[in-house]
Amino acid sequence: MIAGVSYDFHQMAVAWQRESTLWWRTMSTMVAAGLMVSTLLTLVVVPTVYALVENSKLRLAALPSRIKAWYWAPFKGRFGE
For the chain, the structural domain boundaries read 6-73
39-78 per-position pLDDT tens digit:
999 999 999 999 999 999 999 999 999 999 998 888 887 6
- Does this model's pTM top 0.75? My answer is no
Q: Is the per-residue pLDDT at 15 higher than 60?
A: yes
Residues in the chain: 81
Contact 14, 31 (CB under 8 A): no
| Phi, psi of 7, deg, nearest 5 | -110, 125
Q: What is the pLDDT of residue 5?
A: 61
Q: By the 8 A CB rule, do 32 and 24 touch? A: no
How far apart are the C-alpha atoms of 56 and 75, rounded to whole Å? 29
Share of the chain above pLDDT 70, in %: 70
